[in-house]
């Protein structure tokens, strides 16, 4: 009996602890059954170890049973410290003691077993709920042991990436699969969270799937820190958001991000293709006319018809606004095939579209690139050419255009100039030039118009026609206008400090519509004038009619505030707008500038002379002065004098002058 033997070993150990000189010890005879306290009589240790009679055998049996029940999990020690107790009473007391102990053991084991079962049940329930939540969210789970740089991934995480069998242990095994354009952003986000600058990690990015494509995912996570605040564990989830990031909800087509990925894949695989931009401009103007349901139905109908008109092997995507793009991957030599595709798309718009409430006829414009068979280009290069082709189609009035070499060169020059305009704003390349404004009768210079030039380090001084259209397209004309106004104020301050007659010169500055509509613009201008001690009447702000179209009430209020400062207001390019007479009737202008178009060949065109005369009479009636632009010869100047024109400017008097030569020119004048 192995267990009995173990019990005997324990008793022998106990015996060795008893004083060697006392072979028998006395135990007080005291037994209180109500409380379970037992007093024991004399008991020979040697008798417990070496059974000599049935009683000893019974004790041994009880000890064996106790060992069986306790299973080595409890130590029960019997101390022998008395004599004079009969063996039968000893056995009784021992039995009561053992039974009492066993009952306590049973109760404790039962309580512990129930507690363990309850804990196991709660763990199973919590695990089931957590598994259900994770499965329903379609998320993959990851756990990163930072000290050991070991990452564990759930089966769902691996399934999302198609990496069921691939070994991924280190954090870089994961991060190196992230798209190169997104990798540093994700690393920075993780680093920021580990350093404690963000409460959570939350970042979306593209990651390489096992099929060779990139998928959009959303990663969330949080780290656990030790008592010193150092991160030791980080866990989180990864969600597949590719559908949300790549599909346009309004049309059901792939969106611009998806198109970018498609182009990258086609270029990397060196598949020849053409790109096509399709615009439906009328839909933009119909947004206010159509209800939301009709507009949604119309967009879906357009997407369906475009999809039906394109080959199955092509890729169709919805861009921003009412624009679409298609990628045609047929043989680049099949020109007739591409022509048929183009014809099919155009034919799709010959039939009206039904929104359920009405039939709508839409026009379409299509721009197509040259075949792409050299793969050192980027998706942005391809789309730049596609948009350039589309603009050519729109500007020419044709429904379609296939990009040619001349158009490609113009598109590249346009892209180059866009970059130069952005750099010019950063590096101060936009500088003022000043063209004299003279009194037509005395030919004395009374002021200057502030004109903008671009001083390019490689291209030299560029005229407005080279960069103004690009700046307007980029929406940075207000920034350029602010710089020109600041330089003009500085120049007026210089003249004011020089004293008369320089302090009497005036400057005109073109005011951009966005500048004028800024609510605090009059206040800032007033502060600038006072800070430089400039007489307000020496500044004339030129406003074009187009800046007031659709904003007449706001423009009228701003002009009123500017006039309160003492600043003069000029109406620029009179006669080239939409409703000049209305503006003249409602607003007060100090100066009306006649555009150069009315002066060109005025000496040979009686109608132009008559028109200038009528404008002069109208200006005199309104109490405004007249300035004629673009005077280039004596004949034109003589006609303007005869018509009582107040001011004139043009190459006949002087070309625009740079600021560094202005002082010398003034002294010569």
> What pLDDT does residue 513 have?
78
Burial of 642 (0-12, 13-18, 19+ CB in 10 A): exposed
Nearest CA-CA partner of 109 in 66, 69, 67, 65:
69
For residues 239 and 220, give the distance between their C-alpha atoms in angstroms, rounded to a whole number. 8
**Of 247, 242, 174, whose CA–CA distance to 206 is shortest?**
242
Assess whether pLDDT exceeds 70 at residue 569.
Answer: yes
> What is the tens place of the pLDDT at every residue in 191-239?
999 999 999 999 999 998 888 888 889 999 999 999 999 999 999 988 8
pLDDT of residue 408: 83
Return the biggest CA–CA distance within the chain: 154
pLDDT of residue 117: 84
* Summary mean pLDDT of the chain: 80
8 A C-beta contact, residue 524 and residue 515: no
The closest alpha carbon to 163, from 217, 126, 109, belongs to: 217
Burial class (CB in 10 A: 0-12, 13-18, 19+), 134: middle
Token pair listed for 183: 């990798």
For residue 194, the Cα-to-chain-centroid distance in whole angstroms is 22
Using CA atoms, how far apart are residues 453 and 660, in angstroms rounded to an integer? 14
The DSSP 8-state label assigned to residue 143 in this structure reads E
- Tell me the H-state helices in 403-520: 405-427, 464-474, 477-498, 513-516
* pLDDT tens column, 316-342: 999 987 899 999 886 544 566 667 888
What is the pTM (predicted TM-score) of this model? Answer: 0.56
Q: How far is residue 628's CA from residue 644's CA, in Å, rounded to a whole number?
A: 11
R_g of the chain, CA atoms, integer Å: 47
pLDDT tens-digit profile of 388-421? Answer: 899 888 888 788 888 888 888 888 888 899 999 9
Tens digits of per-residue pLDDT, 481-491?
999 999 999 99
CA distance 443 to 460: 32
pLDDT at 187: 93
- Chain segment 146-201, per-residue pLDDT in tens: 999 899 888 888 888 887 767 788 888 889 999 998 999 999 999 999 999 999 99
- 502-548: per-residue pLDDT in tens? 778 899 999 887 888 888 999 999 999 999 999 999 999 998 877 77
Give the per-residue pLDDT at 88.
Answer: 55
Give the Å distances, CA to CA, from 247 to 256, 258, 427: 9, 7, 40
Domains, the chain: 2-103 (no CATH), 138-245 (3.30.450.20), 259-403 (3.30.70.270), 425-668 (3.20.20.450)
Closest by alpha carbon to 159, among 209, 103, 233? 209
Any idea which of 124-138, 142-156, 355-369, 646-660 has the lowest mean pLDDT? 124-138
Rounded to the nearest 5 degrees, what angle is found at the Cα of 443, between the Cα atoms of 442 and 449? Answer: 130
* Residue 18 · residue 79 · CB < 8 Å: no
Mean pLDDT is highest, among 41-50, 284-293, 575-584, 599-608, for 599-608
Poorest-pLDDT segment among 89-98, 341-350, 363-372, 648-657: 89-98
Asked if pLDDT for residue 19 goes beyond 60, the answer is no
Could you tell me the pLDDT band of residue 299, with boundaries at 50, 70 and 90?
Answer: confident
What is the C-alpha separation between 275 and 383, in angstroms, rounded? 7
pLDDT digits (tens, 9 = 90+) for 432-461: 999 999 999 888 899 999 999 999 999 999
What pLDDT band is residue 36 in, cutting at 50, 70 and 90? very low
């Amino acid at each position: 009996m192995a267990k009995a033997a173990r019990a005997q070993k324990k008793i022998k150990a106990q015996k060795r602890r008893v004083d060697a000189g006392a072979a028998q010890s006395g135990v007080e005879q005291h037994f209180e059954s109500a409380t379970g306290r037992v007093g024991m009589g004399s008991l020979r240790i040697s008798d417990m170890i070496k059974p000599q009679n049935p009683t000893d055998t019974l004790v041994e049996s009880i000890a064996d049973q106790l060992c069986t029940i306790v299973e080595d999990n409890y130590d029960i020690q019997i101390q022998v410290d008395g004599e004079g107790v009969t063996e039968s009473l000893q056995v009784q007391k021992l039995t009561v003691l053992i039974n009492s102990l066993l009952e306590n053991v049973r109760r404790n084991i039962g309580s512990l077993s129930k507690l363990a079962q309850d804990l196991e049940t709660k763990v199973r329930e919590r695990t089931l709920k957590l598994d259900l939540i994770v499965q329903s969210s379609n998320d993959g789970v990851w756990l990163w042991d930072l000290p050991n740089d070991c990452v564990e991934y759930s089966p769902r995480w691996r399934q999302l990436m198609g990496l069921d069998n691939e070994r991924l242990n280190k954090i870089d095994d994961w991060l190196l699969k992230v798209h190169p354009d997104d990798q540093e952003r994700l690393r920075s986000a993780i680093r920021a969270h580990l350093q404690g600058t963000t409460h959570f990690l939350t970042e979306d990015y593209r990651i390489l799937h096992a099929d060779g494509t990139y998928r959009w995912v959303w990663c969330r996570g949080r780290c656990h820190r030790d008592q010193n605040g150092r991160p030791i564990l980080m866990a989180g989830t990864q969600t597949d958001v590719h559908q949300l990031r790549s599909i346009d909800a309004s049309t059901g087509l792939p969106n611009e991000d998806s198109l970018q990925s498609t182009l990258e894949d086609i270029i990397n695989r060196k598949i020849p293709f053409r790109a096509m931009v399709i615009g439906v401009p009328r839909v933009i103007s119909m947004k206010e006319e159509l209800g939301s349901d009709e507009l949604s139905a119309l967009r879906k109908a357009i997407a369906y018809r475009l999809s039906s008109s394109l080959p199955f092997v092509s890729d169709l995507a919805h861009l921003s606004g009412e624009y679409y793009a298609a990628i045609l991957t047929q043989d680049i030599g099949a020109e007739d095939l591409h022509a048929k595709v183009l014809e099919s798309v155009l034919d799709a718009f010959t039939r009206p579209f039904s929104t359920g409430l009405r039939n709508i006829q839409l026009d379409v414009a299509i721009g197509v690139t040259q075949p792409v068979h050299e793969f050192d280009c980027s998706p942005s290069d391809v789309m730049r050419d596609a948009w350039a082709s589309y603009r050519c189609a729109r500007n020419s009035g044709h429904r379609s255009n296939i990009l040619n070499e001349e158009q490609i060169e113009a598109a590249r020059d346009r892209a180059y100039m866009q970059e130069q305009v952005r750099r010019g704003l950063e590096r101060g390349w936009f500088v003022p030039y000043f063209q004299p404004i003279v009194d037509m009768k005395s030919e004395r210079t009374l002021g200057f118009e502030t004109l903008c030039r671009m001083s390019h380090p490689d291209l030299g001084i560029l005229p407005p026609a080279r960069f103004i259209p690009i700046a307007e397209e980029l929406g940075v004309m207000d920034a350029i206008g602010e710089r020109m106004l600041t330089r003009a104020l500085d120049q007026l301050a210089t003249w004011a400090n020089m004293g008369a007659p320089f302090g009497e010169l005036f400057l005109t500055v073109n005011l951009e519509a966005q500048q004028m509509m800024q609510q605090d613009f009059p206040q800032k201008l007033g502060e600038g004038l006072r800070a430089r001690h400039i007489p307000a009447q020496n500044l004339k702000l030129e406003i074009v009619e187009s800046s007031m179209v659709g904003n007449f009430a706001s423009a009228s209020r701003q002009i009123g505030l500017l006039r309160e400062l003492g600043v003069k207001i000029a109406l620029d390019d009179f006669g080239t707008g939409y409703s000049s007479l209305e503006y003249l009737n409602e607003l007060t202008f100090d100066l009306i500038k006649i555009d150069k178009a009315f002066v060109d060949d005025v000496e040979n065109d009686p109608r132009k002379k008559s028109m200038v005369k009528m404008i002069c009479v109208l200006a005199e009636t309104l109490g405004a002065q007249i300035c004629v632009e673009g005077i280039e010869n004596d004949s034109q100047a003589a006609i303007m004098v005869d018509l009582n024109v107040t001011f004139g400017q043009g190459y006949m008097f002087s070309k625009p002058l740079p600021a560094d030569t202005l002082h010398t020119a003034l002294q010569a004048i």
